[in-house]
Structure 1
Amino acid sequence: MIEVSGLTKRYGPATAVDDLSFQVRPGLVTGFLGPNGAGKTTTLRLILGLEPPSAGRALVHGRPYPELRDPLLRVGALLDAGAVQGDRSARDHLRWLAASNGIGPRRVAEVLELSGLTGVARRRVGRFSLGMRQRLGIAAALLGDPEVLVFDEPVNGLDPEGVRWIRDLLRARATEGRTVLVSSHLISEMALTADHLIVVARGRLLADTPLAGLTARFPTLEDAYLSLTSGHVDYRGVA
């Protein structure tokens, strides 16, 4: 599982993540929600060891992410689909990532097929649409068949078929007992995908609850979300 305890991140006088604590348990799709500037992306970067915390800790499989051996085999993540060298083909990009973690070429072919990119595997990534880059980023996250998945806005740029594909993929992985954390602004999509919700604003925890716990009290998840976050929107923070 993912364990976040007292996690805090400051950038000078600005506090992006403020004493945040929660757990992301296996067997569930956990939605990570909050307004713009709520600290969601910063929290994910802290979990993945891309930035050091100012205080507190984030553990994956009981350890800080940088201490994990063969990290692609343990955690699959997509934060920025654009962070790919545009002159590489999709296949070469995945082969390079796979080789860095001792993953064979057969798995590269499998994730290309799974993500619907087999037909464009030799095309340079720089010619990909946003949706195709998203699929490539998801394929990279799946390379090691990891037990933990962490996605930031995974449906960004996807068409309706792609949105359904990623929704079914995440739910299938959770059903297999894996840990799935998904940050999204699309409340309607989280209503269809998530089992559990973590809601933050201004870097602080507002709710950590099963989806059913919110929808039982409000007509829709959107109503519940807007009620929770009312008065907490602050665009001066960090994403």
Structure 2
Amino acid sequence: MVRRADDPPSRILYRVIELQRLTKRYGDTLAVDELSFTVQPGHVTGFLGPNGAGKSTTMRLILGLDAPTSGQALVNGRRYTSISRPMREVGALLDASAVHGGRTAYNHLLCLARTNGIGPMRVAEVLEQVGLAGVARKRVGGFSLGMKQRLGIASALLGDPGVLMFDEPVNGLDPDGVRWIRDLMRSLAAEGRTILLSSHLMSEMALTAERIVIVGRGKLIAEATVAELTARYPSLEDAYMALTANSVQYGAAR
């Protein structure tokens, strides 16, 4: 594992997610509206917004799964689609259920590893790291949602990337698993990695994130530290509720 806390500034600058007036339309629906913000290394950045705010769409745009209507999303100064071995630079968990149920956990990760020039030893390492070493040879179709979440996190960690993105990673986890996720996010950030974490759990976000980006109706509402928000409001949840009061919408893209 590469330790990054003492990297020189010149390297740290290239572990950044940068959105520049990012816009995405689906027909008449404006899912992301000239969204601009930067996610810096060294801390967990929480990504918050009501249903329909455009969070998942934004993450898909960053990862090149959708093409922007205008503007751009850059990872380490480049579009994700231009990175030759992307898992070595960016790791992501967007949908833990998007796994072939007939494969074992080990084979699922091994297939991903081979596409990015990653050796089998690393597969064993991440399975151990996420607590799945004991079920590595079992088929994913028999996994609980919590186990699939852990496997998705293993996939994100596979290339030992400097940039990591997680969409609702605590879904399906028991309290011990939630605490494990919290500690993992903090430890990855402490290594100097860039962490973007989307979640609806305000209490967990308050314990995990240092910085917060809040969006509503595809637009940036707030970008601040947790300390700044809780200095203005009784809690992070109160800050979120107040700032998004006019941004709730239904039936739109996430």
TM-score range, shorter chain: over 0.9
- Report the equivalent of 1:155: 170
Quick check: 1:15 aligned with 2:30?
Answer: yes
Q: Deviations over 1:141-181 (max 9, x none)?
A: 00011000000001111111111111111111111111000
2:88 match: 73
Selected match of 1:220 from 235, 238, 243: 235
Deviation at 1:136, TM superposition (A): 0.2
2:189 matches 1:189: no
SS in 1 for 2:232: coil
How far apart are 1:43 and its partner, in Å?
0.2
Name the residue aligned to 2:251: 236
Distance (Å, rounded) in 1 between the aligned partners of 2:161 and 2:251:
35
Give distance in 2, aligned partners of 1:11 and 1:104. 39
State how far apart, in whole Å, the 1-side matches of 2:251 and 2:130 are: 37
Structure 1 runs of 4+ off > 4 angstroms? none
Cα distance, 1:52 vs structure 2: 0.2
Residue 207 (structure 1) aligned with residue 222 (structure 2): yes
> Within 2, Cα distance between the matches of 1:64 and 1:170?
24
1:69 Cα offset (Å): 1.9
Rounded Cα–Cα distance in structure 1 between residues aligned with 2:246 and 2:81:
36
Say yes or no: does 1:123 pair with 2:123: no
Partner residue in 1 for 2:4:
none
Structure 1: which 5+ runs fail to align? Answer: none
Which secondary structure state, in structure 2, belongs to the residue aligned with residue 137 of structure 1? helix
Q: Deviations over 1:176-198 (max 9, x none)?
A: 11100001111110000001000
Residue 45 in structure 1 maps to residue 25 in structure 2: no
Superposed displacement of residue 236, structure 1? 2.9
Cα distance in 2 between the residues matched to 1:42 and 1:101: 25
What is the match of residue 82 of structure 1? 97
- SS of 1:216's partner is helix
Match of 1:97 in 2: 112
Alignment RMSD: 0.6
2:106 corresponds to which letter in structure 1? R
CA separation in 2, counterparts of 1:177 and 1:98?
23
The amino acid across from 2:146 in the alignment is G
Distance in 1 between the 2:21 and 2:232 partners? 29
Number of residue pairs matched?
Answer: 239
CA distance in 1, matches of 2:66, 2:98: 17
Shift of 1:232: 1.2
What secondary structure does 1:85 align onto? coil
3-state SS in 2 of match to 1:84 = coil
Deviations along 1:37-89, one digit per CA (max 9) or x if unpaired, are 10000000000000000010000000000001210100000000011100000
TM-score, length-scaled by structure 2: 0.93
